Amino acid sequence: MRFRPRGLRARLLVAFVLVTVLGAAAAAWSSAGSASTALVTSTQQRITEGIAGRLGAITPQLTYPPDQDALDRLRTAAGGDTVVTYRDLRSSAGTGTDLVPDTVRVAVRGRNRLVTQRITAGGRPWLVVGTPITITAPDGARTPSGIEVYSVHDLTDVEQQIDGLTRSATITAALALPLAVVLALLAAGSVLRPVRELRDTARRLAGGDLGARSSPQGADELAELTVTVNEMAESVQTSMLAMTRMQADARRFAADVSHELRTPLSTLTAVVEVLATTADGMEADARESAQLAIVETHRLVRLVEDLMEVARLDAGTARLRVEEVDVAGAVRDCLRARGWLDRVDVVAPDGISLRLDRRRLDVIVANLVGNALRHGEPPARVAVSESPEDVRIEVTDRGPGLPAHVVPHVFDRFYKADAARTRTPGSGLGLAIALENARLHGGDLTAGNADGGGARFVLSLPRNREDS
């Protein structure tokens, strides 16, 4: 499993350390390589110049053709492990003379000039120098004498110096590591500080603090990003403030309209009640119109009452009047008050009690059951159950159920699953009000479909809610 640094800080540290250490290592190795090459070259030059100089000093004193004594004098002048040959004559000293390769001998005879070659023998480095001896005439002409000098020199000391240079390069690279870590920490801190500030600003914005801003520092890309984030936050804040004002205006308008409609609706309700008592004596057409007016007036009254309830919930002025309530009894009372007991199957064991607002529970159950009776065939079903954490009221109907595209919007205000059904008896706010009342109790209301078909709404009310 390969190690992959996580987090921007770790990646910056690893990248900076790698670049610094690799750079230091490359520089050290390059310096060591250059120094090693220069050392070998200078050593080789020193040896060859020394041999050439000593041989050049003694060559004019020789007689040609040479004898054994002349070869010995040349060998002594060359020094070290040296062998001097002239036809069948030979003079050698040292143990390394047998290391002279044939390639050097062929090159000396063929090129008629000094030849060098580095070899390794017995695990040690050697420098082989081969040179012919030439005869210089008074007119300056040079002719080969047939004398060949081969000298072998041990380069172990040079190799040890090269090894020392290599160790120095390794130590230099190793010493660069802690320095690179320190520099990386400083660089990462300077780079990541603005990033952390942007992160904190983003978290504050996500938490609802729309006034959160970061101060740009410098003129680099991070500063430009900070300016961009600030501009974005300013735009979001402006949009949210405008939206909040519009929502407040809309809520205030709905509340004001609802309040202003109460008085004329009260008068209109009184009129339709009188009209209802006299409708039986009217002609058929007039009676039908009167009944329609009565139904629509009652519908308008319910709509205004629901709008006023929504306005109170939106304004946060709705308060719970908590008391100990027998949940099963409260459900049956709700159904009895509306004449629904014979159209609803109730599965509610006695003894389930909970501290809640009885009136708001009545509103929730009435909306859920009324919705089930409108969109499904009776009987609807209400089941009450409990657990150590909560009390659940499940309402199911025998209708076609909720289409998948309807479920996310079923609690939206004025939402209708069928756009053609614009004149339903409800106000379009019942389920939204039921959900708000459930949340006011610290609970929740969910919608879905039952296993056997039909819509299914589940009200969950917690037991450990703190009274407010």
Map 304-326 to HEC letters: HHHHHHHHHHHHCCCCCCEEEEE
Mean pLDDT in residue range 52-64:
78
The reported pLDDT for the residue numbered 419 is 47
pLDDT band at 420 (very low <50, low <70, confident <90, very high): very low
Q: For strand 390-396 and strand 455-462, is the pairing parallel, antiparallel, or unpaired?
A: antiparallel
Mean pLDDT in residue range 60-83:
81
The reported pLDDT for the residue numbered 331 is 93
Half-sphere exposure of 166 (CA within 13 A, CB side): 8
The reported pLDDT for the residue numbered 421 is 42
The reported pLDDT for the residue numbered 55 is 78
Token digits of residue 118:
């580095």
User: Which domains does the chain show, CATH number per domain?
Assistant: 8-163 (3.30.450), 222-313 (1.10.287), 320-462 (3.30.565.10)
CA atoms of 434 and 129, how far apart (whole Å) = 106
Mean pLDDT in residue range 208-212:
77
Mean pLDDT in residue range 68-93:
82
The reported pLDDT for the residue numbered 140 is 66
Contacts of 370 (CB under 8 A, 6+ apart): 338, 426, 430
Asked if the model's pLDDT at residue 308 lies above 50, the reply is yes
Compute CA distances 396 → 107, 214, 258, whole Å: 108, 53, 32
Instruction: Determine the distance from the C-alpha atom of residue 365 to the mean position of all C-alpha atoms in its chain, rounded to a whole number.
Output: 46
Token digits of residue 181:
């870590």
Contact between 217 and 223 (Cβ < 8 Å): yes
What confidence tens digit (pLDDT) does each residue in 349-396 have?
A: 888 999 999 998 999 999 999 988 988 888 899 999 999 899 999 999
pLDDT band at 422 (very low <50, low <70, confident <90, very high): very low
Helix axes 358-375, 430-440, angle to 10 degrees: 150
Between 410 and 22, name the one with better pLDDT: 410
pLDDT band at 87 (very low <50, low <70, confident <90, very high): confident
pLDDT band at 5 (very low <50, low <70, confident <90, very high): low
The reported pLDDT for the residue numbered 451 is 83
Contacts of 139 (CB under 8 A, 6+ apart): none
Compute the mean pLDDT over every residue in the chain, rounded to the nearest whole number. Answer: 78
The reported pLDDT for the residue numbered 425 is 57
Q: Contacts for 332-340 with beta carbons within 8 Å, 24 or more apart? A: 333/362, 334/361, 334/362, 334/365, 334/366, 334/369, 335/365, 335/369, 335/382, 337/362, 338/366, 338/369, 338/370, 340/369, 340/373
Asked if the model's pLDDT at residue 136 lies above 80, the reply is no
Highest mean pLDDT among 188-197, 236-245, 285-294, 355-364: 355-364
The reported pLDDT for the residue numbered 176 is 64
pLDDT band at 83 (very low <50, low <70, confident <90, very high): confident
CA atoms of 138 and 75, how far apart (whole Å) = 26
Q: What count of other Cβ atoms lies within 10 Å of the Cβ of residue 37?
A: 11
CA atoms of 217 and 84, how far apart (whole Å) = 80
Three-class secondary structure of residue 1 per DSSP: coil
